[in-house]
Amino acid sequence: MLPSEPKIFHGWEAELLDILHLFKTGIPRIAILGAGGMGKTSLARALLHHPDITARYAQNRFFVSCSSATTKLKLVNLIGGHLGLKPGKDLTQAVLQYLSNSPPSLLILNELETLWEPAGSHSSIEELLLLLAGVEDLITMRGAERPAKVLWTRPFLGALQPLDQKAARLTFVDIADSGHSQEEVDQILSLTDNMPLAISLLAHLADTEGCSTVLSCWDKEKTSLISDGFDKRSNLDMSIALSLSSPRIQLLPHSQELLSLLSMLPDGMADVDLIQSKVPLENVLKCKTALKSTALAYTDEHKRLKVLMPIREYLQQHQPPGDHLVHSLFKYFEKMLKFHKEYAGTQSIPSTVTQIKLNFTNIQNVLQWGL
């Protein structure tokens, strides 16, 4: 049985059109990437039910949730079950034969990261994707890295980004209705950084409790306010914790420390800040890469490494940065401000002023920590 078409769908129209265009170029092999809670599954479901797709594939559309599979073999057998094949110990050949002998079929592998993430299963999952080379398929994966060895259809889709403000407001209103103060709605949206999952959970809460109550409770409870659900689609903390459990993060423990440090830096950090501050973390730039590949962090238009607001709030509650990390930043910013004061009016000051402006909120937070 196919999942339903999403009833609320704002902000991904351009991505949907991009994907539909890719379906006009040979055998499409597409990866939808992005952070947890960014709308990957919703986009895949919208594609699944788009008129162009239903006309092209009719009954030969298959949507397989990979979260319950723990090995390549179990995934293959799960796919076989969706195809209506008889159960067996290893359905690999049966699946390949079925798909090769059938009319054009669309196979969507949702949440493939649950299998691909563990280092020991990288190769086996990539081998399976290679075997499916003649199949029109689409995968969704938490993170910003595609499985290797696969000739993905170009141009690649970029990792999904937070919704723009208009789409975020429309999503909120579709859930919580339009009788709320626009100012309070925008205040709530500012807490989400327009992450779709956070918007949805807070909007449902606002629908029953009102925006004022939500804003008041957030000050005390932060992300735990919307973390009572039993799965990652109804529990923000669970979704974030799942991303933090990525083997790519676990293999680089200092990447979690860097992420914790970023949680108190709304302005993010440039590479020059990471290096010059001498943060006591080994392979700090490698840690940065790990955070970006898992979509726990991203670089903005100024090439500054940043973390979305809901993730920052979660980390400050559950994994705050160690004092030794913050202290190195404190000394770095203190030195920067002293330099500005000492050399104000000289030719060397403009670059320092720019650096201070780019780190203004960071400096406030770190100096407040030092009080």
- 188-236: per-residue pLDDT in tens? 999 999 999 999 999 999 999 999 999 999 999 999 988 877 788 889 9
**pLDDT digit string, tens, across residues 14-46:** 999 999 999 998 899 999 999 999 999 999 999
Relative orientation angle of helices 92-101 and 72-83, to the nearest 10 degrees: 40
Rounded to whole angstroms, how far apart are CA atoms 297 and 307?
5
Mean pLDDT of 151-167: 96
Rounded to whole angstroms, how far apart are CA atoms 342 and 347?
12
Residue 7 covered by a domain: no
**Position 356, amino acid:** I
The verdict on 23 and 115 lying in the same domain is yes
What's the residue count for the chain?
371
Residue 344 covered by a domain: yes
Residue 3 covered by a domain: no
* CB proximity list for 114: less than 8 A, separation 6 or greater: 66, 67, 69
Q: Looking at residue 18, which CATH number applies to its domain?
A: 3.40.50.300
Residue 371 confidence class, pLDDT cut points 50, 70, 90: low
Residue 158 covered by a domain: no
Task: Specify the pLDDT at position 345.
Answer: 65
What range does the domain containing 70 cover?
A: 13-142
Rounded to whole angstroms, how far apart are CA atoms 297 and 305?
7
User: How many domains are there within the chain?
Assistant: 3
**pLDDT digit string, tens, across residues 337-365:** 998 887 776 666 778 888 999 999 999 99
Task: Specify the pLDDT at position 348.
Answer: 61
Q: What is the pTM of this model?
A: 0.92
Residue 360 covered by a domain: yes
Residue 109 covered by a domain: yes
* pLDDT over 70, % of the chain: 99
Q: What is the token pair recorded at 371?
A: 């009080």
- Judged by average pLDDT, the poorest of 161-165, 178-182, 250-254, 366-370 is 366-370
Q: What is the token pair recorded at 3?
A: 């999942």
Q: Which of 177, 194, 226 is the last residue of a domain?
A: 226
